[in-house]
Amino acid sequence: MAVHVLTLMAWADEEPLKSEQVAESVNTNPVVIRRMLCELAESELVVSQTGAMGGSKLARPPHQITLLDIYLAVESRGVFSLHRHPPSRHCPVGVNIGSVLNEVLDEVDSAVERVLANITIKDVVSRLKPCATKANVKGLQATSVKRKNGTKEQVLVARN
């Protein structure tokens, strides 16, 4: 969900988004989004401003935010977890399974983190754009903007 939120913010460019707008896209309650935005702000991935003209936006350019940054901000480390309760110490499997699986899980976590470190929010936006020729996010509209480098790009902005 956090990748969705930050991708939406990147898509909206510099336009701050209200939690209600983001919640509509994610299809969840704005309170859930606000809680997540707090976690993302603590990790310096978003900045938020309160008030009528407020909202949240990316704290840095999309090419500088990796999926690993997001993963570390909102997820507990570890793709998999071990037993909630320790297995039997009287079983030859149970007594050793934890140490064996910890090594495997460390390898899995490292592999996942390597992949996430190489994908940015800009990459996600680039992969998404061919799929999104029309804006269908309630509260946002597609508009063409001219970038500083002279190129034109479609972005989503808040409807007035």
The DSSP code sequence of 96-143 is HHHHHHHHHHHHHHHHHHHHHHT-BHHHHHHHHGGG-SS---TTEEEE
Asked, for residue 69, whether it belongs to a domain, the answer is yes
Instruction: List all residues 6 or more positions away from 150 whose beta carbon is below 8 Å from its beta carbon.
Output: none
> Based on the structure, what is the number of domains in the chain?
1
Asked, for residue 26, whether it belongs to a domain, the answer is yes
pLDDT at 55 over 50: yes
pTM of the model: 0.73
Average pLDDT over the chain, rounded to an integer: 84
In tens, the pLDDT along 65-114 reads: 999 999 999 987 666 677 678 888 899 998 888 889 888 888 988 999 99
Asked, for residue 20, whether it belongs to a domain, the answer is yes
Give 45's pLDDT tier (boundaries 50, 70, 90): very high
CB atoms within 10 A of CB 30: 16
Asked, for residue 58, whether it belongs to a domain, the answer is yes
Whichever domain contains 126, its CATH number is 1.10.10.10
- Could you tell me the residue range of the domain that residue 100 belongs to? 2-134
Asked, for residue 152, whether it belongs to a domain, the answer is no
Instruction: List all residues 6 or more positions away from 30 whose beta carbon is below 8 Å from its beta carbon.
Output: 19, 20, 22, 23
In tens, the pLDDT along 3-16 reads: 999 999 999 888 89
Asked, for residue 159, whether it belongs to a domain, the answer is no
